[in-house]
């Protein structure tokens, strides 16, 4: 018999859900959802499970990840139970369930704690720079190695164990048998979803939003590659320099659109933003923006007298790499791609 957690609804509210208890189970939301199918029917079922506190059933479900948050269900709910926002908060909650450190949950639930983490990392950068006597070449050298170290550490220490936990909840615990061959043949699905998020094209509203996301993912991954592997800030190659400028412009231009949409709140999906949503788009914008100006100051021969711009960029980078990527909204990108993979191999 499925275990019931009577406090689950209260817990979910800390992740941004509200008013889902108003649901009277009419099924309108599922009927209008263009991504819901007979085999994978949502969001009504997830609303029901949440109301009943069926925590374990939600833990083993991929359905929260199959929703791409177009907001159609919320717009058509006769009880204003906000099913789209419930699906979003389930994704946040699942992120905290997969995370073995428990930090995702703490940061999602507490804005003061998030602010404290940002302040502490900024202080860390300032103290480190003071120890290095604000020697720009030394700080830039360590900054470059920090990026590589952070990527490797976050991947090995946080992401791999968390993905194993996700696998445990979705496949192993419910005793689903998946032949090894399927794990291999499904890998292509994982790669395709990771880079294209093609399922989002199935949302009625979504062609432009999909394109913006696609450009952002390409711009972000390209900028990461250019700064880490091609050492953009030290490169003398005209091609690498121009490529880095282009990618940083793409990142901050698309994030400006996202921030302005969240501020204007015209679309259903922009109406409700949790602090984690704001932090994600603002820090992504700041990353592209500050990287662009660091390289511009290098090319103008002005960086040595304006070390603050590099310190600002480094602070944003450290906060991004140590807080938002491992414990914030960035993880949705990873878990959603793996959810598509698990859905494929389970079928
Ligand atoms: S969330 Fe709204 S639309 Fe969906 S089943 Fe409940 S009342 Fe109906
Ligand atoms: S937000 Fe859109 S994709 Fe998600 S459940 Fe609602 S209608 Fe479906």
For residue 42, how far is its CA from the centre of ligand 1 (angstroms)? 10
Residue 312 pLDDT: 97
23 Cβ below 6 A of ligand 1:
yes
Taking CB atoms and a 6 Å cutoff, what residues make up the pocket around ligand 2? 33, 35-36, 42-43, 67-73, 83-84, 87, 203
Overall average pLDDT of the 262-283 stretch: 85
| Pocket test residue of 32, 45, 66, 67 for ligand 2, highest count of atoms within 8 A of CB | 67
Q: Does 205 have pLDDT greater than 70?
A: no
pLDDT at 185 over 90: yes
Q: Is the pTM of this model over 0.75?
A: yes
Question: What per-residue confidence (pLDDT) applies to 2?
Answer: 66
- Alpha-carbon distance of 326 to 339, in angstroms, equals 17
Please, which pLDDT band fits residue 259 given cuts at 50, 70 and 90?
confident
Query: Is the bond preceding 32 in cis, omega lying within 30 degrees of 0?
Result: no
Which token pair is 194?
């990771």
Instruction: Give, rounded to a whole angstrom, the gap between the first and last alpha carbons of the chain.
Output: 24
Give the model's confidence band at 73: pLDDT under 50 very low, under 70 low, under 90 confident, else very high: very high
pLDDT at 211: 84
User: What are the residues whose beta carbons fall under 8 Å from the beta carbon of 97, sequence distance 6 or more?
Assistant: 59, 165, 169
Assess whether the C-beta atom of 27 lies below 6 angstroms from ligand 1.
yes
Is the confidence at residue 270, as pLDDT, over 80? no
Cα dihedral 286/289/292/295 (nearest 10): -50
Q: Which of 9, 19, 21, 24 to mutate to test the pocket of ligand 1 (most atoms within 8 A of CB)?
A: 24
pLDDT band at 304, cuts 50/70/90? very high
Whether the pLDDT of residue 194 is over 90: the answer is: no
Q: What is the mean pLDDT of the chain?
A: 92
Q: What are phi and psi of 277, to 5 degrees?
A: -70, -45
> Is the Cβ–Cβ distance between 121 and 323 less than 8 Å?
yes
pLDDT for res 233: 94
Q: Quote the tokens at residue 34.
A: 């263009």
| pLDDT of the residue at 109 | 93
Q: Ligand 2, atom 7: nearest CA belongs to which residue? A: 33
**What phi and psi values does residue 36 have, to the nearest 5 degrees?**
-75, 140
| Ligand nearest to the CA of residue 70, numbered in listed order | 2
Burial of 91 (0-12, 13-18, 19+ CB in 10 A): buried
**pLDDT the model gives residue 189:** 87
3-state secondary structure of 234: coil
Length of the chain in terms of residues written: 347
pLDDT exceeds 80 at position 204:
no
Whole-number pLDDT of residue 263: 86
The angle formed by the CA atoms of residues 186, 194 and 107, to the nearest 5 degrees, is 120
Place of tokens 């406090």: 7
- Is the minimum distance from the CB of 314 to ligand 1 under 6 angstroms? no
Looking at the CA of 85, name the nearest ligand: 2
Grouping H, G, I as helix, E, B as strand and the rest as coil, residue 294 is helix
- Kindly identify the ligand whose nearest atom is closest to the C-alpha of 206: 2
Q: Which atom of ligand 1 is nearest to the CA of 28?
A: 3
Residues 120, 126, 129, CA angle at the centre, nearest 5°? 140
Query: Pick the residue with more confidence: 204 or 318?
Result: 318
Q: What is the mean pLDDT of residues 63-71?
A: 92
Which ligand is nearest the CA of 19, by number?
1
Q: What is the average per-residue pLDDT within 118-127? A: 96
Element spanning 65, H or E? helix 63-66
Give the mean pLDDT of 263-292. Answer: 88
Q: In what helix (H) or strand (E) does residue 50 lie, and over which residues does it extend?
A: helix 44-52
Cα–ligand 1 centroid distance for 31 (angstroms): 10
Helices and strands, counts by H and E, the chain: 19, 0
Cα separation, 295 vs 237, whole angstroms: 13
201 band by pLDDT with thresholds 50, 70 and 90: confident
Confidence of residue 328 (pLDDT cuts 50, 70, 90): very high
pLDDT at 208 over 80: no
pLDDT value, residue 206? 64
More confident call, 267 vs 58: 58
Cα(312)–Cα(292) distance, rounded to whole angstroms?
12
């Amino acid at each position: 018999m499925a275990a019931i957690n009577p406090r689950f609804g209260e817990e979910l509210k800390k992740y941004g859900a509200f008013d889902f208890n108003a649901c009277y189970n009419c099924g309108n939301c599922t009927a209008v959802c263009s991504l819901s199918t007979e085999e994978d029917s949502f969001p009504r079922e997830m609303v029901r499970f949440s109301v009943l506190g069926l925590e374990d059933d939600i833990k083993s479900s991929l359905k929260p990840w199959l929703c791409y948050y177009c907001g159609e269900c919320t717009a058509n709910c006769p009880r204003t139970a906000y099913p789209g926002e419930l699906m979003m908060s389930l994704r946040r909650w699942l992120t905290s369930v997969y995370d073995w450190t428990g930090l995702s949950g703490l940061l999602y639930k507490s804005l003061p704690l998030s602010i404290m983490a940002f302040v502490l990392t900024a202080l860390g950068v300032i103290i480190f720079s003071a120890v290095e006597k604000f020697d720009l070449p030394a700080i830039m050298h360590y900054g470059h190695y920090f990026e590589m170290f952070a990527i490797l550490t976050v991947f090995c220490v946080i992401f791999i164990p968390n993905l194993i936990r996700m696998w445990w909840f979705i496949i192993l615990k419910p005793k689903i048998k998946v032949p090894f061959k399927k794990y291999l043949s499904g890998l292509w699905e994982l790669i395709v979803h990771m880079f294209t998020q093609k399922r989002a094209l199935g949302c009625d509203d979504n062609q432009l939003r999909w394109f913006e996301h696609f450009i952002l993912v390409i711009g972000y991954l390209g900028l990461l590659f250019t700064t880490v592997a091609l050492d953009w800030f030290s490169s003398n190659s005209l091609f690498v320099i121009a490529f880095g400028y282009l990618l940083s412009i793409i990142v901050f231009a698309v994030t400006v659109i996202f921030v302005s949409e969240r501020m204007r709140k015209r679309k259903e999906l922009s109406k409700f933003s949790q602090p984690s949503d704001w932090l994600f788009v603002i820090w992504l914008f700041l990353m592209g923006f500050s990287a662009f100006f660091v390289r511009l100051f290098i090319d103008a021969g002005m960086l040595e007298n304006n070390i603050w711009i590099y310190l600002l960029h480094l602070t944003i980078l450290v906060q991004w790499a140590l807080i938002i990527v491992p414990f914030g909204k960035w993880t949705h990108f990873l878990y959603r791609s793996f959810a598509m993979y698990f859905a494929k191999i389970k079928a």
